[in-house]
Amino acid sequence: MTSLISAVTDFLLTWVVHATIISAVALAAGRWAIRGPRVRDYVWKGALVAPVVTSLVALLAFDDAGVGVLHLPSLLRTAFPLIVPPVTATLHVRAVGSARVVAAQMIEPLSLIIRCVVGAGILLPALLAIARLLRRRRQFSDLLVTRRPIRPAVLGIRDDAFRSRTALPLHVSVCESIGSAVALGRREVCVALRAFVALEEVERRSVIAHEVAHLDRRDPAWIAAAQALSSLLVVTPLVAMVANRLQCDAELLCDDAAVLQVGAPFAHVRALTAFAFALDPAARCGSTFASADSRIMQRAERVLRRDAERRHRWSGAFVAACVGTAAVVGCVLLPGVSAAPRPVTAWTGVQSSSSNASVRVIRVTVKSR
């Protein structure tokens, strides 16, 4: 049980450190170096997934000597030698015939303190953030309870408008409790009936093309995963910033797909403005067509400038290879973080000793690396 707690604590510490560093690098790259949303989309996804991989590699790929691992007790003891108590150990030397069996018990007071701080400082805020996220998702689900399936022809849309690149059949539903269209799961598009029928036919097709693009990109799953990760790492606000950038760029890319498919940028902008602030805040859990958080003005200006993603020539495979290479470099360069002390390298002096007929107990002060 103690080893499990130590492993979980070390993983959480390493995960927080790696997520902070990788998210900072990704945000800087997205702000100053990368202009296209398609490339940024790969960067955001890599920044969310990579810290989990690099943390596991940093803790599992090193030997027992702790090479490449930052031991917090040793760092604190080096920084504050007059405040942090030294490491002590108890040696039990037992005579067994002509041989002597030695058992050492390390006493590191800082390890327990650090693990308690990690539990209080990381796990408790994460549990509260997860509870808030689940409450928002429950509110979102309550909004969709009244939705019902409908045939596309009733909405004045041809069946081929709901055709997905994945060749999976798509389901269409309507709901009066939401004010926009939203992609659900992998195969469902839900629209607000009264708001949707008020649009012109070309505007409806643009809205549907936008939501089908979300399903093709699996944005509902990615957004759900990003929200879960940002809740688990709520102590690192940079992760939440990456998750927000991921959702914003997903909207830009789906706008591009809708405009390229329908060929009506002005109709798409009219649909954006019609749906802009009609969506319930709880629906932010899903991939919505328009909401206050999706930067409506930026999206509209971008569509009207015809600043679509077709201008970017980097292929998805090339960008994925770059992100994968960066993850491998991160595994090599980013160290692990542990609450355990460094291995003992020297005895500095005997503090006290006692013995009886068969056992000799020696308490010493030790020096760790």
Q: Are 162 and 213 in contact (CB under 8 A)?
A: no
pLDDT, tens digit, 9 for 90 and up, residues 314-336: 555 665 566 666 666 666 677 77
Would the pTM of this model clear 0.85, i.e. be above it? no
Most confident of 98-107, 269-278, 289-298: 269-278
- Span of 218-232, 234-248, 350-364 with lowest mean pLDDT: 350-364
| Rounded mean pLDDT, 266-283 | 71
SS3 (DSSP) at 366 = strand
pLDDT grade for 90, boundaries at 50, 70 and 90: low
pLDDT at 178: 81
First-residue to last-residue Cα distance in the chain: 26
User: What is the pLDDT of the chain when averaged over all its residues?
Assistant: 75
Of residues 204 and 345, which shows the higher confidence score?
Answer: 204
Where residue 2 falls among pLDDT bands split at 50, 70, 90?
low
Alpha carbon dihedral 225, 231, 236, 238, in 10-degree steps, equals 50
- Write the pLDDT tens digit of every residue in 218-235: 999 999 999 999 999 999
User: What are all long-range contacts of 254-258, with beta carbons under 8 Å and residues at least 24 apart?
Assistant: 254/210, 254/211, 254/213, 254/214, 254/217, 254/219, 254/287, 255/210, 255/299, 255/302, 255/303, 256/37, 256/308, 256/309, 256/310, 257/209, 257/210, 257/213, 257/216, 258/206, 258/207, 258/209, 258/210, 258/213
Task: Give the C-alpha separation, 362 to 61, whole Å.
Answer: 35
- Average pLDDT for 338-353: 54
Residue 91 has pLDDT above 70, yes or no: no
Q: What is the pLDDT of residue 350?
A: 45
Q: What pLDDT band is residue 239 in, cutting at 50, 70 and 90? A: very high
